[in-house]
Amino acid sequence: MRTISKAKGYLNGVMAILMVAFLSVSLASCGDDEKKDEPKDTDAAAMAAGTYKGSVAMSVMGTVVDPVAGEVELTATDETHVNVVIPELKYANFTIASVTVPAVEVTKAADGSVIIGAGSYSDSSITCKIISGKVSSTGSLTLDFTLQPGKMPMPINAGFTGSK
């Protein structure tokens, strides 16, 4: 009887050693699998961030205004939000100051693009509403927004297209 209990104790010790050896080998890692230079798949804001050069097409009450050159800047504030900087715009004798729309939500799409959600900014001098936007996987930006300076009774509809 005593030899059986010694054998059981010996087997329990061997099993414990084998289990520790197995776990230490199976949990070992060969290195860092994450690439530090590239944004994580969930970090849509870092993927979208940048300065985009292009043009802004505008219309007021259906009247199309000649496109003007401009730069839109997207700055990541966290993994899923960006600040959108709309450039100063000039048409006719009218100048609209640059506007920053804060904390606009962005999400990564299955095709590798980044979808820009709705957002808005308003103060006594201007109201800006981001309707929608997209940064393609190739780095081009399309952004639809409206601007309503001061007491202007109707909004200016605008669309930006550009690339990094």
Cβ density class 126-163: b for 16+ within 10 Å, e for less:
bbbbbbebbbeeeeebbbbbbbbbeeeeebbbbbbebe
pLDDT value of position 17 = 56
Contact status, residue 131 vs residue 101, Cβ threshold 8 Å: no
Average confidence (pLDDT) per 10 residues, the chain, 164 residues: 52 50 48 49 88 96 92 97 95 88 96 96 95 96 96 94 96
* Nearest alpha carbon to residue 58 among 39, 77, 19, 86: 86
**Domain limits of the chain?**
44-163
> What's the CATH number for 44-163?
2.40.128.350
pLDDT value of position 144 = 98
Residue with structure tokens 């309503």? Answer: 148
Identify any residues that bridge with 142 across adjacent strands, giving them in sequence order.
Answer: 134, 161
Provide the sign of the torsion angle of the four alpha carbons 51, 72, 127, 123, taken in this order: positive
pLDDT value of position 23 = 43
Q: For 47, phi and psi rounded to 5 degrees?
A: -65, -35
